[in-house]
Every structure is written in C-alpha cells, then in structure tokens.
Amino acid sequence: MIGYVTDTSRWERWKREYVFGAFYIFPPDDVIGQIDALREIHDPTSASICQAHVSLSEPVPRPLNAQDQQELRRILRKVDPFVVRYGPVRTFPPYPGVALAISPEDPFQALRSAIHEASAFDGVALRRESIAPHMTIAEFISLDRTKELVGQLGSAAPVGEFTCDRVEYAVPDADFRFRRLLALPLGDSG
C-alpha cells in the first residue's frame, strides 16, 4: 500500500496537486550524482525536493491502486526502451532556470502519451505537453542568475546518455521530498 500525505496544509498551493505523485525518468545513479552535485550548489531548494530526473507525467489526480499498476504495466510493455541523451545546458525563456536538454524528443513524447492513456489519468489535460523534456539544474533562481549560470556552466555541464528502460512513480512525503516508490519496466525489460 502506498502511503500518501494526508495533511498538506503546510504545503504551498502549487505543491498540493502532487500529493498523489507523478511519473518520472530517473537516470542511473552515477548520472544522478553528477547532476545532483550541480543542483546542490546552484539550487539547493530544488535538490532537496527530488533527485535529478526527467518529469514525465502530469501529477496523478488520485491514489494509484493495484489495478492501475497492472494497467500501466500492460501499457508500458508496448513501449520499447530507448537511449536518452542529456545536455547541453538550455533555458526556457522567459522563465528563469537552467536545465540539461533531453533528446531525442519523439520517444519521450510517445512514452508520455502512453502513460497518460492509463485510466488513472482520465480527464487530466496534458498541460505540460509543450515543455521540452529536460533535467533541471536550477529552477528557483532569478533571470539574472539564469544568465550567469548559463555562462558559468556552458560547456562544463555534463553531457552523456543512458538507456531508459523503466519509468518510476514518486510521491512526496510530509516535507515535500519525493520518494521513488514504484518502477515499471518498458517493453520486455522486466
């Protein structure tokens, strides 16, 4: 049984829509370590909320049950694993923040669409569909700091690739720190 936070009164309003978590792509631990080292320096607030990740789904609107998990497993069996490339540094003008680009976008978008086919997302609009996939380095910063950080990181930011062979369901605890609770394999990888 997944334990969800029952009292979100201490949370800022935007956080409350995440009470039932969301789906993410978490890179391998060595990649997370590299990115989290940058996040802890340049945006400790973001780093304290969740490990380095690529956001995949909209927030889940209700608790996931066993049937939801089975349905998601069936859906994801039809999605083949794919190679994810991360880097270089990018921004999202006019918004502040620095991230690593994620490519190619087509398999990522197909995976996002597949996740949202699940009945757990019935009636949920893809509000973030137009946001290019990325791995955040710093988001709780100013526009001036964004420009400074892009210049500072430039070609020094990590660039690499890993195989996406699963998606993970993560849910925040009472302190709004996301815990990875469920890994669902893609294709025949699990």
Mean pLDDT score, 73-78: 96
- Residue spans of alpha helices (H) in the chain: 13-16, 29-42, 44-49, 66-77, 105-116, 143-153
Mean pLDDT score, 89-109: 93
Q: What is the pTM of this model?
A: 0.93
31 pLDDT above the threshold of 90: yes
Q: What domains can you pick out in the chain, each with its CATH number? A: 19-185 (3.90.1140.10)
Contact criterion met (CB below 8 Å) for 185 and 42: no
Question: Is residue 44 reached through a cis peptide bond, with omega within 30 degrees of 0 on the bond before it?
Answer: no
